[in-house]
A and B are shown apart, each in its own frame.
Chain A
Amino acid sequence: MRLFKKISLPFLASDINQYLIVLFVIALTALLCRPLSNQQGYYIVSFILLFVVSIMAVFLGIGPILLASTASSLVWNFFFIPPHYALHIERTEDKLMFGSFFFIALINGVLTNRIRRQEVLALEREERTNAIFELTRELSNTSGIKEILDVAFKDVKKYFDAASICFLKEKENTFEILARKGKENDNIRMDYKIAEWVFKNSIKAGRFTEFYNETGLTYYPLTGKRLNPGIVTIEFEKRLSEEKEIFWIGYLAQISNALERELLSELALKARLLGESDKLYKTLFTLISHEFRIPIATIMGASDTLLISQTTDLNRTDLFNEIFKASARLNHLVENLLNMSRLESGKISVHLDWCDVNDLLNKVTRILKKELENYNLKSSIPVEMPLVRLDFGLMEQVIYNLILNSCQYTPSGSIIMFNADYIDGYLVIIVEDNGAGFPPELLDRVFQKFFRVDNSKAGGLGLGLSIVKGLVEAHKGTVKVENQQNSGVRFTITIPTGIPDMKQIKFDQ
């Protein structure tokens, strides 16, 4: 009598209640009709009883309705048809009347009940269609396996009387539970052998099925056109009706579709990333072989000359100088590659310590002494500039790369400006030059790996600025680049930092 749960009259839920109600209602009607029959005759009572049975047919199951029909006939006969208080009927028309009453009550009750049942079935069907539609709609708006499964499992308990449901995905020849809803202990009872069998054969198995039915769970394969997303295990409270089973299979198909779509797009993304990294490798190899070949050629050529020929002392010094310069360039390339790979692999750890920005700049200008010989480096750091918390070594590389970049991209004699200040909790460093600036259309690409402005005299791998960006971001800061109004490029670094409480520092006399 599950169907009648739809009409929310809870006291009708149990069969026994329904039979008791039938008896009670018939008895009550009979009692009330007693005075009426004295005045109007007993035929009127039969109509009233028929009416009451019809009403009950709307709400009650077929069993109670059969009882109602029989009981009402007997009650009418026993209490109302003369002779009263006897089942015996004297008059032939009364006998006929009784027969037709019983028949009408039966037909009436059964028909009303059937209409009602049809209606409930139609309602249920509509509800299922809606449920599937709703599921499809919601699934189309979700992305990610977890989210899909969340949506998919949300109403399973409500629709299918399931105690628990799990999604298993194959992973390295075994299965892992990617999502679960309901009772927790199903993990223990999960039989991965059955799961594997179901996955391999794409046939349902487990409880209420033909295979492996001595278990508490039912295993359903999720199948797709191009790949099989996995397995759903469900713990039903009772066997599904045929219609419910169809509903359930439809429901699973939607889940399966959504998962397949997601898995395929993941695969596509992986393939694209692979393709991209493949492209990157090719760029890298071309670039590296090109960039490395020049200094290597210099070193080989120069040392070969030194070995085989009797050059003058002056030429020897020149050749040695060339070898030294070429190896310095090689070293710089390797440093940049190493730094980039450390940044990319997240292996850079930032050791924050109090730093004097003056010291930072001094250090860099010392290292870049040779490169800066032909440039005019000006700096502006306020006298009251506080100490800031930075990783000295990493920030040294940042400043080094920015100043070196300016040296490489501007003609000799250019002015390079270094400004630092502490503004509202931020260290702001500006490095600018009065060179030609970047072509405006390339500005938003200057921090990209392996990006180089064509025809630059610099050469290099195009890693310097992307290392700057990586290191500044490792400090939770930002770096931006812009062309200045008049000429030249400006890099602005902003890093959040505290400053020390100078009052605490004890100065002696």
Chain B
Amino acid sequence: MSEFETILIIDDEVQIRRLLEITLTSNGYKTLIASDGKEGFTSAATHHPSLIILDLGLPDIDGLEVLVKLREWFTRPIIILTVRNSEDDIVHALDKGANDYLTKPFRSGELLARIRTAIRLNAEKADMPVIEFGSLRIDLINHVVRKNDEIVKFTATEFSLLSLLAKNQGRVLTHQFLLKEIWGYSYLEQTQYLRVFIAQLRKKIEEDPSKPELLITESGIGYRFRD
């Protein structure tokens, strides 16, 4: 699938650009390089890359602004790069249409996993009827979840939360997004709902709920169903 995917890298730091270029080309991607926001726009418009890696700290235009402008017409995945301790920026970028994020310094394995997930999720237009992960099997059509071939019972809310996370397997979903999708707009601040239901889900699907392997917490941002 990733044979001829083209990835546009928008980053002003030469070393990071070279690192990304080497990592991506050696893993079978084609790369395009832009060192600032303007160049990024031009390159994205000319080459229609399969995915864009966008650094939020650009010299000419604010990364978030670049993201918003790109999202006016660019529907393919955008992964943002940012420094640590910038949860607010990350959540903001995710709300503005970024598909995922990576904090610098990052591990190449993680970067490649994020890219794969984003491209896969973008390609899968039709919902998969069944999601399997290890001993866990989620039947989205019949609303049946099996763990080690045994049926696990879920309430309606629990199931919609689980299926939302599972359908976006590998992608981070923000607290606000989950609250809005499952409970509605008036619950955007009620994060306690999310905490309680995530804890319940973990009890039902994790091998060891105190060491969750499937529902991963992204500090200050949201949750991710492990890829």
Contacts and interface: CB of A to CB of B under 8 A. Distances in A.
Interface of A: 327, 331, 335, 338-339, 342, 351, 353-356, 358-359, 361-363, 365-366, 379, 387, 391-393, 396, 500, 502, 505, 507-509
Contact of A392 (B88, B155, B219): B219
A355 B195 contact: yes
Nearest to B156: A508
B199 interface: yes
A391 B212 CA distance: 21
Interface residues of B, number: 23
Interface string B61-100: 0000000000000000000000011011000000000000
B68 to A, nearest CB: 23
A358 B88 CA distance: 23
Contacts of A505: 192-193, 196
Contacts of A342: 85
Contacts of A327: 105
Given A355-B195, A500-B192, 17 more contacts: A335-B84, A342-B85, A351-B220, A356-B199, A359-B195, A365-B211, A366-B211, A379-B210, A387-B192, A387-B196, A391-B220, A392-B220, A393-B85, A396-B219, A508-B155, A508-B156, A509-B155
Contacts of A359: 195, 198-199, 217
Contacts of B87: 351, 393
Nearest to A501: B192
Nearest to A335: B84
The interface centre, meaning the residue of B84, B191, B198, B217 with most chain A CB atoms within 10 A of its CB, is B217
The interface centre, meaning the residue of A338, A359, A507, A508 with most chain B CB atoms within 10 A of its CB, is A359
Contact of B195 (A331, A354, A363): A354
B157 interface: yes
Given A335-B84, A362-B212, A393 B220 contact: yes
Contacts of A391: 220
Given A362-B217, A393-B219, A508 B157 contact: yes
Contacts of B199: 356, 358-359
Contacts of B157: 507-508
Contacts of B84: 335
B155 A507 contact: yes
Lowest 8 CB-CB distances: which A-B pairs, in order?
A393-B220, A500-B192, A354-B192, A393-B219, A508-B155, A354-B191, A356-B195, A392-B219
Nearest to B200: A507
26 contacts: A331-B105, A339-B85, A342-B85, A351-B220, A353-B175, A353-B191, A354-B191, A354-B192, A354-B195, A355-B195, A356-B195, A359-B195, A362-B217, A365-B211, A366-B211, A379-B210, A387-B192, A391-B220, A393-B87, A393-B219, A396-B219, A505-B192, A507-B155, A507-B157, A508-B157, A509-B155
B125 to A, nearest CB: 30
A114 to B, nearest CB: 85
Nearest to A342: B85
B106 to A, nearest CB: 11
Contacts of B85: 338-339, 342, 393
A379 B209 CA distance: 13
Contacts of A387: 192, 195-196
A509 B85 CA distance: 39
A210 to B, nearest CB: 64
A359 B192 CA distance: 13
B159 to A, nearest CB: 10
A342 B86 CA distance: 12
A393 B84 CA distance: 10
Contact of B219 (A356, A358, A363): A363
A351 B221 CA distance: 12
A509 B88 CA distance: 35
A421 to B, nearest CB: 16
Given A338-B85, A387-B195, A358 B155 contact: no
A114 B156 CA distance: 107
A123 B220 CA distance: 76
A391 B220 CA distance: 8
Contacts of B105: 327, 331
A312 to B, nearest CB: 22
Nearest to A349: B88
B218 to A, nearest CB: 9
B154 to A, nearest CB: 10
B155 to A, nearest CB: 5
Contacts of A396: 219
A474 to B, nearest CB: 13
Interface string B163-188: 00000000000010000000000000
Contacts of A355: 195
Nearest to B84: A335
A358 B211 CA distance: 9
A219 B156 CA distance: 82
Contacts of B211: 362, 365-366
A509 B198 CA distance: 16
Interface string B194-227: 0110110000000001111000010110000000
Nearest to B83: A338
A358 B196 contact: no
A419 B32 CA distance: 50
Contacts of B195: 354-356, 359, 387
Contacts of A361: 210
A387 B191 CA distance: 10
Nearest to A358: B210
A379 B219 CA distance: 20
A356 B193 CA distance: 11
A331 B175 CA distance: 28
A331 B217 CA distance: 22
Contacts of A500: 192
